């Protein structure tokens, strides 16, 4: 169909104007996304979305992708997450350098606009570093002490939960009773809601998935499970309930739990940090307000500190005499000023739940059906759903009622 020349010229002019505007926007965005002078190098980025496309399209999980990129660009490199300049730390040395040696600078949290609107940067996990966060952390620590964390009184609470879990296995139930604790309210209601919510979610989600991985690996490696059974039988016997005091006498069990935490990396990228002021790390300039990702997965698979890191090997935490030995590069609870304040509680829960289960049951896969071991990423790094047989050990009798102290 014939159109007048004026209409064609108008359409061409409009298309040219739109193309010009689009070109200006793209160039402007490229200039905004340009790495500042002295900023760590990183993979090429696209306008507007930066490296988000590469992360989304990669067949690897984000922490694995970032570790692979570190082999190209170095232990400290940069990503652009949709216009958000981000620095990724890989390996124990650089993580320690930032979170410990420059702890105050790297103790802040990033200000993502949508997240700020939802939370107003309240609570403990995501609040900005400063007096408010220090006050709330002090309140949380005091609350743990108030409820007896690390003491015998708290041990009985954990063992009570173990009773619920084992009763559920015995009666083929899928749900476990949960108790509620009332916390003292001293700060604003809004901040308290965020703080308590974070503690509950962070505590239950991580500890639950550690135990799910531990059960999976015991069924996967029956020889390791057998060693744990022997140590439990030797120290606790068949009927005495587990105690937190038993931990120091059970180096192999302690080593197994540490290897589960190292190998499975429940929170592989930790919680994002941010710089509260300009920083210099290994000659690179990191401006104030830069988002910082600590790749804890890369720390726990750092060949400099771990021999054959891709092998599940609890003995790496034992010395030549069979005693448990701590490893410097073992940081599942992170490092520095923002390290997990519930670490002691988590360790107590994991040890008591794990030993109580293994004291009572032999764990194996039904019909030798080994599940898919590839983790899935949710709030934490979780195992795929799997079936497990919890077979009653012959020499054990039910004394778990004694847990209800």
Query: Residue 279 contacts by C-beta under 8 Å, 6 or more apart in sequence?
Result: 98, 102, 105, 106, 285, 286
Helices (H), 287-342: 296-300
Distance CA 89, CA 101 (A): 14
Distance CA 72, CA 351 (A): 39
What token pair was written down for 286? 């990191």
Sequential DSSP letters for 131-181? HHHHHHHHHHHHHHHHTTTTSHHHHHHHHHHHHHHHHHHHTT-S-------
- CA-atom Rg of the chain in angstroms: 26
pLDDT tens per residue, the chain (405 residues)? Answer: 555 656 666 666 666 667 665 655 555 555 555 677 899 999 998 888 889 999 988 889 999 999 999 999 999 999 999 888 999 999 999 999 999 999 999 988 887 655 444 445 455 555 655 555 555 555 555 555 544 555 555 556 556 655 555 554 444 334 333 434 444 433 455 555 444 544 555 556 788 899 999 999 999 999 999 999 999 999 998 888 899 899 999 999 999 999 999 999 999 999 899 999 999 999 999 999 999 999 999 999 999 999 999 999 999 999 999 999 999 999 999 898 877 777 887 888 899 999 999 999 999 999 878 888 999 887 789 999 999 999 998 755 443 333 322
For the chain, the structural domain boundaries read 38-403
CATH topology for the 38-403 domain: Cytochrome p450 (1.10.630)
Q: Cα(87)–Cα(66) distance, rounded to whole angstroms?
A: 11
Residue 399 burial class via C-beta count within 10 angstroms: exposed 0-12, middle 13-18, buried 19 and up: middle
| CA proximity to 362, closest of 386, 331, 400, 388 | 388
Q: How far apart are the first and last CA of the chain?
A: 90
Per-residue pLDDT at 96: 97
Tell me how far apart the alpha carbons of residues 2 and 149 are, in angstroms, rounded to a whole number: 84
**Beta bridge partners of residue 286, listed in sequence order:** 279
Task: Characterize 86-112 residue by residue with b for buried, 16 or more Cβ atoms within 10 angstroms of its Cβ, and e for exposed.
Answer: bbbbbbbbbbbbbbeebbebbbbbbeb
Cα 59 → chain centroid: 20
At residue 42, the pLDDT reads 94
* Number of CB atoms found within 10 A of residue 293's CB: 21
């Amino acid at each position: 169909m014939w159109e007048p020349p004026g209409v064609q010229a108008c359409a061409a002019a409009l298309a040219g104007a739109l193309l010009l505007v689009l070109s200006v926007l793209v160039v402007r965005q490229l200039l905004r996304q340009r790495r500042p002078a002295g900023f760590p190098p990183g993979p090429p980025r696209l306008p507007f979305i930066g490296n988000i496309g590469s992360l989304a399209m990669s067949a690897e999980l984000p922490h694995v992708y970032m570790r692979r990129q570190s082999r190209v660009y170095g232990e400290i490199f940069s990503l652009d997450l949709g216009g958000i300049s981000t620095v990724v730390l890989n390996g124990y040395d650089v993580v320690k350098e930032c979170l410990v040696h420059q702890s105050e600078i790297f103790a802040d949290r990033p200000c993502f606009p949508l997240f700020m609107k939802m939370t107003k940067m309240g609570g403990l996990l995501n609040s900005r570093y400063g007096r408010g966060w220090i006050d709330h952390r002090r309140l949380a620590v005091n609350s743990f002490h108030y409820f007896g964390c690390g003491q015998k009184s708290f041990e009985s609470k954990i063992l009570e939960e173990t009773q619920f879990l084992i009763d559920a296995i015995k009666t083929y139930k899928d749900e476990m009773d949960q108790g509620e604790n009332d916390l003292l309210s001293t700060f604003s209601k809004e901040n308290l809601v965020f703080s308590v919510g974070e503690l509950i979610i962070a505590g239950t989600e991580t500890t639950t998935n550690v135990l799910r991985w531990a059960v999976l690996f015991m069924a996967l490696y029956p020889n390791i499970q057998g060693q744990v059974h022997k140590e439990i039988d030797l120290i606790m016997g068949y009927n005495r309930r587990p105690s937190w005091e038993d931990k120091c006498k059970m180096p192999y069990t302690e080593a197994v739990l540490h290897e589960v935490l190292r190998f499975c990396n429940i929170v592989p990228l930790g919680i994002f940090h941010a710089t509260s002021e300009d920083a210099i790390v290994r000659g690179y300039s990191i401006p104030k307000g830069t988002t910082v990702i600590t790749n804890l997965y890369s720390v726990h698979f750092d060949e400099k500190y771990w021999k054959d890191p891709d092998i599940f090997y609890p003995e790496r935490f034992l010395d030549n005499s069979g005693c448990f030995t701590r490893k410097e590069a073992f940081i599942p609870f992170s490092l520095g000023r923002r390290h997990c304040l519930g670490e002691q509680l988590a360790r107590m829960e994991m040890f008591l739940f794990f030993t109580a289960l293994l004291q009572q049951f032999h764990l194996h896969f039904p019909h030798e059906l080994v599940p898919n071991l590839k983790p899935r990423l949710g709030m934490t790094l979780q195992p795929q759903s799997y079936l497990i047989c919890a077979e009653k050990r012959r020499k054990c009798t039910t004394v778990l009622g004694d847990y209800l102290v």
